[in-house]
Structures are given as structure tokens and as C-alpha cells.
């Protein structure tokens, strides 16, 4: 039995545990809020502190990239951490991320690193409006971002960013990355795995729709093979450069026939939840296979599948389950506005069938709780006609 310790005790650790059980894996989670090792499905069960967790684990991994550096160092010293602490740090710091992309000659948005007011002024001079400013650390789900659309906003945005930097609780200095806004056609992501032996397996490109900065719908359906090949090459470049082990997610902007990397996530990813019903081997199982030295599972798309995020709601109409090939995944969290509470996976044997089912489910959901989902579903169904 392989014993796995996950840094973080949220829904991703929970789903890793569910995927690991059939493989005879014992998955525990380190709750960074309490500094205790807990059971991912029953956090009231405590198994000691981080030192105990490290000693009892065969391999250590992470469910999020914003792990305190001293925690990463302690885990790295054990020789059990996969992916490496450097890979996790890169996913949590946009400055390191941009340096990796440039070093690998991977296309991404034109950008400027900002550490001072002089850098801010330089960025405005070097980039064309509109410009998006992103915090180097602690930025996720649309947080820590500012959009400069006119020169008149500059001073106000600089003051907001200055205050944000001053209030940072991060273990390393906060900073800002200024990016040229990209007029993209759609947002895509690629989730893939690389094993301890260097074996690579990637899932199909996924189309993502965000609402208020948070992923609301992911759609996995056949895409242009040239785009898939392009994304696969980027995945191979980055993971081989990092000697990466585990699941890595890469978010792209599609601009014509070119993919620009938006950001990377060194972990299982929200846009890969559809793999639970759309593939033979879901991302959670393949992450565990990768870090535990097992052969990777099949990542081919079995059937077109979509995922709807459940944000800030602890229930949905039961009629949703009357639609064929609908699977609910609840995280057993306390209801809170903006919180990811669960997700719904929907599959069809064809894109037309998936579109019909996605639209049927969307019509049952509260439009206030699931804004833009019905519009996305209707548009997808119209495209299949």
C-alpha cells in the first residue's frame, strides 16, 4: 500500500483520496490552517503534525501552489515531494512562471514585471492599453487583478496595487506582472501527466468559460488536431524542463491558430474535473499513478463531457439527475458566497447529445446562482445544429 500525503485539505485532496482507494493507496491531507494531518473525507480524524505526516508518507504532493516555503522546504528535504518545490513555487509566483515560459521559448502575452512606481510607468509606456495587472502571488479566481483601460485610471490603480502589496501576508515579497490584454477567441486548457519515468499522457484540450473571474463551465469535445499538437508540445517542453512529475494544467488563450500560455498550475485542476466521467482514467488517478511510479492510464476522450461548477450553493434541483449521464460531485463544504461547493458532470455519446443534455440541465439551474451557464449551453447547442 502506497501512503500519500497531500499538502492542502480541500476538495482536490478529497478527490485524490476517492481515486486512490481502488488503487490500494492510503491518502492523508495536511491542513495548512490547523497544521494537522487529517483524513481528506473526515477531517475530524487527526494523524499528527507535518513531521508525523512526512515520516508516515511514501510520497508527498500538493493540491495548491500557494504553500508556505518553509513547509515546502521541509517536505523537499525528505526526498518524497513530487512535483518538486521549485515547480510548485513557479505555479504560485507569476514572475517565476513568466521566466520559465521565456526560458522555454513558449508563446505568452507581452509583459513587464513591476516592483516599483517606475516599473509601473515603464509598463504603461511599453504596453498598449488595455493592460491587465496581476499580483505575482496569492492571485486566483480573478483575485489580485486590475484592468487599465484609460490613462486616467493609472494613479488610482497604482494606489490600489501599492496598498495590496503593502498588506501582503506572503512569505516572499509580493509583486505585480503587467500583461498586454490579449484579444483571444476562447480560453482553453490542457491537463496532462508526466511520470517518474518520463512517460507523458495528456487529455484533450478543454474549452473554459469564466464568470466573474471564476471557472463556470468546462467543455471537453473533439478539437482541431493542430491545436492539440501545439498544446502537447508546450506541455512536453515545460515538464521536461522542470523534470516534472504529476499532473500539470496549462491555461491558454487561442488567438487564431496560435495558443498563448496564460498560466500554469502544478496540480490537479478545476478544468480537468470532467475527466471523472469523460475518460478511462481521471486526472486524480493519473496524478497518483504518476507520483507513485505506476504506468499512466488512458487519457483519450471516451465521450464529449462538460462540467458545471457549483459556486456558493449547497443544493441544486433534484430534477437535474433526471437528465441522462449526469453525475453530481459535492465537496461537503459549508455554504459561502463565491466558494466552490461541488460540480456537475454531463456526458453525451455525440456533441449534439451533450449539447442537448447540457442545455436541459442549464434550464433547471437558478440563473442568479449560475449566471451565463444557460447562455453558454444555448450557444453550444446552436453551434451543433
Q: Does the structure show a pLDDT above 90 at 142?
A: no
| DSSP per position, 121-158 | HHHHHHSPSSEEEEESSS--TT-SEEEE-SGGGHHHHH
- Mean pLDDT calculated for residue range 270-291: 98
Q: Does the structure show a pLDDT above 80 at 141?
A: no
For a pLDDT cut of 90, what percent of the chain falls above it?
A: 92
| DSSP per position, 302-360 | SS-EEEEEEES-S---GGGGGSTTEEEEE------TT-EEEEEEEE-SSHHHHHHHHHH
Q: Tell me, what's the pLDDT at 167?
A: 83
Q: Is the distance from CB of 161 to CB of 139 less than 8 angstroms?
A: no
For a pLDDT cut of 70, what percent of the chain falls above it?
A: 99
Q: Is the distance from CB of 79 to CB of 60 less than 8 angstroms?
A: no
Q: Does the structure show a pLDDT above 80 at 169?
A: no
Among the residue ranges 7-16, 38-47, 120-129, the one predicted with the least confidence is 120-129
The pTM (predicted TM-score) of the whole model is 0.95
Alpha-carbon distances, residue 16 vs 12, 23, 28 (angstroms): 6, 11, 10
Q: Does the structure show a pLDDT above 90 at 289?
A: yes
In which band, very low, low, confident or very high, does the pLDDT at 170 lie, cut at 50, 70 and 90?
A: confident
C-alpha to C-alpha distance for 162 and 175, rounded to whole angstroms:
9
C-alpha to C-alpha distance for 345 and 359, rounded to whole angstroms:
13
- Mean pLDDT calculated for residue range 233-244: 98
Query: DSSP letter at 203?
Result: P
Q: Tell me, what's the pLDDT at 334?
A: 96
- Mean pLDDT calculated for residue range 284-304: 98
In which band, very low, low, confident or very high, does the pLDDT at 173 lie, cut at 50, 70 and 90?
A: confident
Q: Tell me, what's the pLDDT at 168?
A: 80
Q: Tell me, what's the pLDDT at 143?
A: 72
What are 62-71's pLDDT values in tens digits? 999 999 999 9
Q: Tell me, what's the pLDDT at 139?
A: 65
- Mean pLDDT calculated for residue range 138-158: 85
Helix (H, G, I), strand (E, B) or coil at 375: helix
| Structural domains for the chain | 2-81 (3.40.50.20), 110-180 (3.30.1490.20), 186-384 (3.30.470.20)
In which band, very low, low, confident or very high, does the pLDDT at 117 lie, cut at 50, 70 and 90?
A: very high
Its sign, for the CA torsion 356, 361, 363, 364, is: positive
Q: Does the structure show a pLDDT above 90 at 131?
A: yes
Q: Tell me, what's the pLDDT at 246?
A: 98
What are 359-369's pLDDT values in tens digits? 999 999 999 99
Q: Does the structure show a pLDDT above 90 at 357?
A: yes
Q: Does the structure show a pLDDT above 80 at 140?
A: no
Amino acid at each position: 500500500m502506497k501512503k500519500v500525503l497531500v499538502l492542502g485539505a480541500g476538495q482536490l485532496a478529497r478527490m485524490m483520496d476517492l481515486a486512490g482507494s481502488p488503487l490500494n493507496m492510503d491518502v492523508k491531507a495536511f491542513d495548512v490552517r490547523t497544521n494537522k494531518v487529517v483524513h481528506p473525507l473526515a477531517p475530524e480524524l487527526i494523524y499528527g503534525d507535518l513531521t508525523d505526516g512526512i515520516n508516515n508518507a511514501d510520497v508527498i504532493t500538493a493540491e495548491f501552489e500557494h504553500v508556505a516555503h518553509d513547509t515546502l522546504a521541509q517536505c523537499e528535504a525528505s526526498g518524497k515531494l513530487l512535483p518538486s518545490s521549485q515547480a510548485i513555487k513557479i505555479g504560485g509566483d507569476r514572475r517565476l512562471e513568466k521566466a520559465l515560459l521565456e526560458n522555454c521559448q513558449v508563446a505568452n502575452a507581452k509583459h513587464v514585471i513591476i516592483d516599483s512606481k517606475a516599473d509601473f510607468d515603464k509598463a504603461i509606456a511599453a504596453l498598449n492599453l488595455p493592460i491587465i495587472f496581476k499580483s505575482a502571488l496569492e492571485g486566483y479566481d480573478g483575485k489580485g487583478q486590475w484592468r487599465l483601460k484609460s490613462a486616467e485610471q493609472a494613479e488610482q490603480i497604482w494606489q490600489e496595487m501599492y496598498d495590496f502589496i503593502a498588506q501582503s501576508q506572503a512569505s516572499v515579497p509580493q509583486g505585480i506582472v503587467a500583461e498586454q490584454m490579449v484579444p483571444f477567441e476562447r480560453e482553453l486548457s490542457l491537463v496532462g501527466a508526466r511520470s517518474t519515468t518520463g512517460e507523458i499522457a495528456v487529455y484533450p484540450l478543454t474549452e473554459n468559460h469564466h464568470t466573474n473571474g471564476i471557472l463556470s463551465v468546462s467543455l471537453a469535445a473533439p478539437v482541431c488536431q493542430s491545436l492539440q499538437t501545439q498544446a502537447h508540445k508546450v506541455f512536453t517542453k515545460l515538464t521536461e524542463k522542470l523534470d516534472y512529475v504529476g499532473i500539470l494544467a496549462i491555461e491558454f488563450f487561442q488567438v487564431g491558430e496560435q495558443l498563448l500560455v496564460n498560466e500554469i498550475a502544478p496540480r490537479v485542476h478545476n478544468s480537468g474535473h470532467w475527466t471523472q466521467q469523460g475518460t478511462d482514467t481521471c486526472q486524480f488517478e493519473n496524478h497518483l499513478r504518476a507520483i507513485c511510479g505506476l504506468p499512466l492510464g488512458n487519457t483519450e476522450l471516451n465521450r464529449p463531457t462538460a462540467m458545471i461548477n457549483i459556486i456558493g450553493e449547497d443544493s441544486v434541483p433534484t430534477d437535474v439527475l433526471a437528465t441522462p449521464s449526469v453525475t453530481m460531485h459535492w465537496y461537503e463544504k459549508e455554504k459561502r458566497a463565491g466558494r466552490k461547493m461541488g460540480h456537475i458532470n454531463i456526458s453525451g455519446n455525440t456533441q449534439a447529445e451533450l449539447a442537448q443534455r447540457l442545455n436541459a440541465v442549464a434550464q433547471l439551474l437558478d440563473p442568479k446562482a449560475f449566471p451565463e451557464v444557460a447562455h453558454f449551453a444555448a450557444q453550444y447547442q446552436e453551434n451543433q445544429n
